[in-house]
Amino acid sequence: MNGKSFKQILILVALLAVPGFLYYLLQDKGKNRYRPLNIFGPKQVAATFHYKRGKKIADTVYHKISRFELTDLSGNHITFPHDSTHISVFDFYYTRCYSCGVQNRYMESVVSEYADNKRLQFYSVNIDPEYDSPSKLSAYTKDYKYPPGKWIFLTGDEESIYKLARGQFLTDVYRDSKYPDSVIHRHLLILVDTQNRIRGFYDALNKEQIDKLKDEIKVLIAEELRKVTDL
């Protein structure tokens, strides 16, 4: 056997062995090994219990985003959650904010990556509705490419939106007292699961964080699919 043939055999063995090794790493007595995403927000111990491998474990009540209603750019009332099978990504923005343009370009890249995935829904909530009229918002959104209905731009009453951002999405949004034309807020993309729990906050001006979001969406999809197969 010459050296070239020996190398070819080694490569073939490696190609055959790697899938099996990965399968071994991902299995633990028939269960996938993966680290689920964190669940953000206040939580408390419930009075109920569940059992895992014979051990009694107290259930945990996690923060969930409550039902709310805003309007889209056509004036239609949009209620969240509109479908309990959707994973959602949210951000908060306004048109006079330069950094929000960068933020929504990154949002656009995530929308584009998951354009054909029916499990994903995207929302951008306007935080300057007194200035950002529906006509201004319609002109603003024409610069973005996305499938109809996949990425929904929402607006509504300013006070209600600020309470929603702080109380439900756990992110800072408030009018700058020194510069009334400015809204102080955190540039975040927020990942929400099908149970309306926050599973991740991502710096919307940082490409590495956006790449992390794209990867963690895949983890969350796997988590949701596993729940279905475990039923």
Each residue of 136-173: pLDDT tens digit?
999 999 999 888 899 999 999 999 999 999 999 999 99
User: H-helix or E-strand containing 49?
Assistant: strand 43-52
Tally Cβ neighbours within 10 Å of residue 35.
Answer: 6
Whether 90 contacts 199, CB under 8 Å: no
Is 82 labelled as part of a ligand binding site?
no
Q: What is the mean pLDDT of residues 86-99?
A: 96
Per-residue pLDDT reduced to its tens digit, 122-139: 999 999 999 999 999 999
The model scores a pTM over 0.85 = no
Q: Are 94 and 128 in contact (CB under 8 A)?
A: yes
Q: Does a structural domain hold residue 10?
A: no
Q: Is residue 46 part of a domain?
A: no
pLDDT at 97: 96
- At 141, list the tokens: 């959104």
Is 100 marked as binding a ligand?
yes
Angle (CA) 200 202 204, round 5°: 150
Is 16 within a domain? no
Q: Is the pLDDT of residue 54 over 80?
A: no
Instruction: Identify residue 27 by its one-letter amino acid code.
Output: Q
- Tell me how far CA of residue 218 lies from CA of 12, 119, 120, 223, in angstroms: 30, 11, 11, 9
CATH of the domain at 165: 3.40.30.10
Comparing CA positions, the residue from 190, 169, 195, 191 lying closest to residue 84 is 195
Q: State residue 158 phi and psi, 5-degree precision.
A: -60, -50
pLDDT value at residue 49: 65
Question: Residue 29, by phi and psi: left (phi above 0), alpha (psi -120 to 50) or beta?
Answer: left
Tell me, yes or no, whether 40 lies in a domain. no
Asked if residue 97 belongs to a known ligand binding site, the reply is: yes
- Given this model, what pLDDT does residue 115 score? 95
Q: Is residue 219 part of a domain?
A: yes
Residue 54 covered by a domain = no
Residue 103: domain span = 64-230
> Per the domain annotation, does 159 fall within a domain?
yes
| Residue 21 domain flag | no
- Overall domain count for the chain: 1
Q: How far apart are CA 87 and CA 196, in angstroms?
A: 8
